[in-house]
Structure 1
């Protein structure tokens, strides 16, 4: 990884990123030799990625032919416009973000308890509650879908939160973002370790 100051090695922090967003991007190897990327709703369950899909489709064909996949999640935070640079140099614009990239092996989960558990975890994550209707094997929708499991072989993660700046520069940047108040600015300020209510 080139920007080592952005690297995340703490597994709990990686899990928090995976838990805080619902959509990831799945890359499979296409029959034509091109990567094929699909956005999917997912859940991280027992250290593996799970998503559901129809029983037929290009990504399933690709995984049947080659189970090696790549899975990516990103959370854009604040966009640093030219106003964040004292000289307003356009080449200094930047994006703060979290991201996780997983290389792994995919497989279709057979009907059974693991498929039920993965689907219920997926629903609970997206419904953001635990009192939803529980999925069971008798539901027509259960039988009509596939659940895909990705077992990671390599996980890398980054958070770009201006860690390479001096403390006073980071504070000035956080205060600028707080006052600008664009979408993502408040989240970026908190991720940088500052309290937006205590920056005056």
Structure 2
């Protein structure tokens, strides 16, 4: 229980910051047979709600109309830690550094053209921040042609494991092994762990905290 508490993201601001920097979320609705249906979606978090755009017909929309209770999940896998980092033979020592957010909420389909326009512009601003497009207005045909799913969170829970549960010596040792393994994410991972690579070797720049 003590470790689980240390893995919890306690800051709502950090949760929102993480959501705004991730490209894909997964919405889970319940189908007509009672099975969960999970769909990856682009999304934007703004004004304390989640917006997604969709084709105007489809199973997930039917699910939401019948049952507004949904789940929404976003995660980022930072680094797989092979078992041999800590044990020469024990496979159970394999681990993963990660950040994840799990939301429970109420979903609805937005009908108001102004709110649909807001959602679409927020999506464009997130995914195409460099611009190069005409800002949408409520009278545009595309606003009428797409569906907008709105999720109002009831609970938002975040977990992270980026080395905060290790002492400084262990964190540096694991960071060295991560760099030696030379995965594509290695350098970004050690930065997230609060470690910098200097000419004098690895040094802790800050405590990893969310």
Q: TM-score, normalised by structure 2?
A: 0.89
Give the 3-state SS of the residue equivalent to 1:148 in structure 2. Answer: strand
Matching of residues 174-193 of structure 1 within 5 Å: 174-193=175-194
1:50 maps to which residue? 51
1:87 maps to which residue? 88
RMSD: 1.7
The unaligned stretches of length 5 or more in structure 1 are none
Give the 3-state SS of the residue equivalent to 2:136 in structure 1. Answer: coil
Distance 1:11 1:131 in 2: 32
CA-to-aligned-CA distance 1:28-78 (integer Å, 9 cap, x gap):
011111101111100111111100001111011000001000000000101
Distance 1:153 1:10 in 2: 16
2:100 is the counterpart of 1:99: yes
Query: 1:82, CA displacement in angstroms?
Result: 2.5
Give the 3-state SS of the residue equivalent to 1:120 in structure 2. Answer: helix
8 Å contact from structure 1 (residues 105, 152) kept in 2: yes
Give the 3-state SS of the residue equivalent to 1:3 in structure 2. Answer: helix
The unaligned stretches of length 5 or more in structure 2 are 203-210
8 Å contact from structure 1 (residues 78, 183) kept in 2: no
2:126 is the counterpart of 1:125: yes
Question: Relative to structure 1, is the Cα distance of residues 31 and 113 closer, same or farther in structure 2, using a 3 angstrom cutoff?
Answer: same
Distance 2:198 2:21 in 1: 23
1:137 maps to which residue? 138
8 Å contact from structure 2 (residues 70, 107) kept in 1: yes
Query: 1:136, CA displacement in angstroms?
Result: 1.9
Q: TM-score, normalised by structure 1?
A: 0.93
Distance 2:197 2:108 in 1: 44
